[in-house]
A and B are shown apart, each in its own frame.
Chain A
Amino acid sequence: MARYESLLDLCGDTPLVGLPRLSPSADVRIWAKLEDRNPTGSVKDRAATYMVRAAEADGRLRPGATILEPTSGNTGIALAMVAKLQGYRLVCVMPENVSTERIQLLRMYGAEIIFSPAAGGSNQAVATAKQIAAEHPDWVMLYQYGNEANARAHYETTGPELLRDLPTITHFVAGLGTTGTLMGTGRYLREKNPDIQVIAAEPRYGELVYGLRNIDEGYVPELYDASVLSRRFSVGTRDAVLRTRQLVEVEGLFVGFSTGAVFHAALAAAHEAVKAGRKADVAFLVADAGWKYLSTGGYTGTLADAESSLEGQLWA
């Protein structure tokens, strides 16, 4: 039955759809898990719901509390919805170089936004986030990069859904940001079948995003455990845009650019299986649809135009 008591209850259990036109052969098939079919349109609804429920259960979140989360978009939107329904206030800290749709959506859902300057890269973001946290010690930061409930959401839901819908799965490919999706889903799948390849695709941005960060000031999310992964790819803007367009042109699947990057890695794995003469069922995760990125200019014009439009923007 497709009836739910509340929006929160219809999070997850997303469809898995075949891509027959882009799959290399009948023996090597590619499948898309449509996380844009979540309540706020992204995979982050799973983590947001789990993180809020965990913080309520351990007493960190009390009625009327303020949640503070540094986020470049989807987590903020998901948290804004959950916070609204559960009675919390949400303050998002985000870089100013994200798309206008994301900012409008956050405000519409009721979140307050504090911008950190795009120029100056992460050093500025660090300063902004530190300052806010110090000024408001009573605000609760769920901190998606180190929150075990983020990965657990995927261990308990995304992983089991994939294995239920595709018992012959050989590869799972997803984007690497907080690493929660890959850690949770990857752990579950490999526990059930150690031969399943867990593949990460991370966006490779223009130089502005990396800024002048000193290498000693680098950062790896606490959730990240390299032993869960089989391989990890860095996908540049041009490849991400190319694959994003290919998905909508050939299969009618309209996705955000981070999913284009993920699909690029999924195709590579699929074609390697063809070369090796092996059967494969490659499932990749569609983190969100493309609506929020239309204003970036990445969906129109030549690939070179799109690449330069996206330069300096956080497209994932």
Chain B
Amino acid sequence: MAKMVLWSAMKGRVLLNGQPAAGAVLVRNYSWHWKNEKGADQTVANAAGEFSFPAIEGRSLLGFLPHEPVIEQVMTIEYQGKSYDAWAYFKRDYNHNDENKGQPINVTCRLDVPRALHGGISGLCEFN
């Protein structure tokens, strides 16, 4: 069964006004069209505001059938009682790092700046 990467491994830092957002909770939600499957995982930023996520991989017995891959990704960051829309993206293939044109994902998420388009990512996280 081929591995289908629904959300690539990623690491990065969360900053608020240039300071590490220690204890910020990052929640990744995805919706995989092929299986009509929704899922989520979460992690907490350390004292330096650093975080990492493993890749989320999907499995499908019928995944060998040709289809157009669509995975909707949304990541929110909870910090000091506020929720930030940090990441929105339509992943359109099952490869590692599709989100960053094949390059490993290392981002800085600034909670104090307006949401913007970074590559194909809508939100607060910018590729380093």
Q: Do they bind each other?
A: no
